Structure 1
């Protein structure tokens, strides 16, 4: 019987609340746009590790999105690719041989283009940038290891997760399972400012470690929607069916792009600070076409093509969530060995055969007049073993896509598809 190792990853983000600000200069100044992986090389040099891994992280994000789409069908989607990639990349510090190779491939890292050390240095820099105390918004990311007294971690693994991922190491007695669960849930609740409560429900009797990764973001729209302009409106689920939503409205300048080839509108709605959002509105009947084209090159092209224009913008208030079996997603993406009895995680601990037995992820998003509130949780259980016409009306009253991007790291914090703003998680 092998003992079990949980890797519990928690991501919490995007809490936005606050006062409306003056917009006297909003229409007079061009807004800074987000830069996707290949466009961000000027910040610290294209050879900076976090710049080098950004394209891989983007490829991973869109690959996971498409895998989720296959499994969910025509339902809402919302998840955090950064949570999942950070989790498994940190785990890869202890992976060896084919298990490590599969993880690298699944995470879209090509070791002919970068060294393994650069990958981890890239995530180290992402953590530094996301935790910058001087940024205008509040954006924090961190990690913790809850380690059973019976498990002897290899010193190198412990040193690496501390120095590269700034992970805390917390001694925990998993033989007292209820107390261990209580301790971990308290940590998660504290780090996520009460947004994720009682996340961990049970532990495998042989659990020897739990790893937690969290992200918390609190920001504000640069141009808040006035609640006085919000009205009831129809959101078209399809050609024949609709639901009632609270539709927010603005008539201001935004960075927008009309992709004629893919038949969609792209609107950037920035937050104060280094975070922005992209809302993509496909024409009726073109959602699949746009989703199929979701690649880093496509999004990079959109961002390069943004024009600062006055528009009439309608955007619904919505709150959705989604839960995903990351193990199933990874296995269908070809990452299988880390979940099997053949897993080689010998770089984690002494005299322990480990494997990932469970990996789950949950995320939620709430969009309102002042901004966006989003949270996500990933749990990995490891067991031993051009020129525009007059201001267009861009009305998000039918299924659309959204991304939330951190501009300092080019990281896709969250992404999703909203097909029914009123749907509750099943």
Structure 2
């Protein structure tokens, strides 16, 4: 198999965007290409396999809706999380992330190297990948876990007052900053028994290699389903340009390049518009086939402008269906390499994911973020003073300590 990075997957399900500039690109610029190391290629393949199965799983829950995710962001967030585990739980993470053939340190090093390769690949593409970890300020994170997160994922690590309602803004503001304000107010609340947040944010912005002239954009028909039509802003190159293209009697595949052509938007289309059938064709073997057998064709391309976002409040059920089971239930084997101080049993309560994409005449802009929320079975009040506000109806009673007798009981619905 020839060396490649999962360009189509980034394009189809979550990583692409555009850098607005005054200069019009008329062809590819030079990219900083180097041969991938063996472990980088293994991780690249792992990312692709993970992306394919995650996308297929989520499509099943969203058969008729627009869908946009960043598998790379999810993979990064869960890869950081993986390092807090050992034994059978670690193996569940490795199986989900398709890195069973790599040792833990090898997987971390490959993640670091592949990310560095992507970030430095094309000077005309604005790609940013950032990680951060916040933990309960009363707890102590094990030094090896901290070191791994910093060395391999360049993660910012800081304590957080989980009882402070304003702490949610710290995480949301960080995500907004990393995604150029495209992803905002992603985290709705922090439960009192939360002990850690592991967050990835990714941003991509790039011009098309061949920009669509704005004057060519016209209202034209788009057919969401057989017998249905809507009017959309349809972009058109107006004249032929060279694209990598693969076609059969049932479907086609085209790569629409950005800048140097190292990044592209891969589009898989069918003549009947059946995306369920297209998703079934989106396999690792087919990806290899398409990439190896594409031919350069002169195409007058027309495609709609579009912009939408997609948020998954909790990917837990999807990840459980893909085999990551133990970490989503309280278990003594979970996160044994995370904290130095004793804790109650831990679990992942939520994996929140949000992504946004905008495609126009100049290029594509996209951003995504993933939040892994780890909680403790029980919640203890902080050791210092804290504020409790009884600002909703409550039940009360008067009792005798020694006998346990309750003398009076009542509830307050309205003090006035």
**What is the rounded CA distance, in whole Å, between the counterparts of 1:189 and 1:323 in structure 2?**
15
Confirm whether residue 365 of structure 1 aligns to residue 357 of structure 2.
yes
Could you tell me how far 1:121 is from its partner in structure 2?
Answer: 0.9
Confirm or deny that 1:202 pairs with 2:189.
yes
- Mapped contact 2:183–2:356 kept (Cα < 8 A): no
Q: Does 1:283 align with 2:271?
A: yes
Q: In the TM superposition, what is the alpha-carbon distance from 1:233 to its structure 2 partner? A: 0.6
Q: Which residue of 2 aligns with 1:225?
A: 212
User: What CA distance in whole angstroms lies between the structure 2 residues aligned with 1:257 and 1:190?
Assistant: 37
Counterpart-to-counterpart distance in 2, 1:131 and 1:171: 28
User: 336, 359, 369: which one pairs with 2:325?
Assistant: 336
Tell me the C-alpha RMSD between the 2 structures: 2.3
Alignment partner of 1:356 is 2:348:
yes
Post-superposition offset of 1:94? 0.7
2:72 corresponds to: 82
Q: Structure 1 residue 252: deviation in Å?
A: 2.3
Which one has the bigger strand percentage?
1
Secondary structure of 1:77's counterpart equals: coil
Alpha-carbon distance in 2 for matches of 1:133, 1:57: 18
- TM-score computed with the length of structure 1 as normaliser: 0.78
Regions of 4+ moved over 4 Å? none
Rounded to whole Å, the distance in 1 between the matches of 2:189 and 2:89 is 27
CA deviations over 1:362-387 (Å, ceiling 9, x no partner): 112111000111122222211125xx
Structure with the bigger RCO (C-alpha within 8 Å, sep 6+) is 1
Tell me which structure has the larger Cα radius of gyration. 2
1:157 deviation in Å?
0.4
Q: Deviation at 1:184?
A: 1.8
Residue deviations 1:217-250 (CA, integer Å, cap 9, x gap): 2211111100000000110112200111000011
Judge conservation of contact 2:208–2:257 (CA < 8 Å) in 1: yes
Corresponding position of 2:253:
266
Contact between 1:137 and 1:272, CA under 8 Å: does it hold in 2?
Answer: yes
Q: Which residue, out of 126, 130, 135, partners 1:142?
A: 130
Structure 1 residue 12 displacement after superposition:
7.6
Query: Partner of 1:236 in structure 2?
Result: 223
Q: Deviations over 1:35-86 (max 9, x none)?
A: xxxxx9x7134x2x22111111111101011101111122222110001111
- 1:69 is aligned to 59
Unmatched tracts of structure 2, length 5 or more: 1-13, 378-416
Aligned to 2:19: 16
Is residue 170 of structure 2 the alignment partner of residue 183 of structure 1?
yes
Q: Give ranges in structure 1 of 5+ residues lacking alignment.
A: 1-10, 34-39, 386-426
- The alignment's TM-score, normalised by the length of structure 2, stands at 0.80
Alignment match of 1:156 (pick from 129, 137, 144): 144
Equivalent residue number for residue 6 of structure 1: none
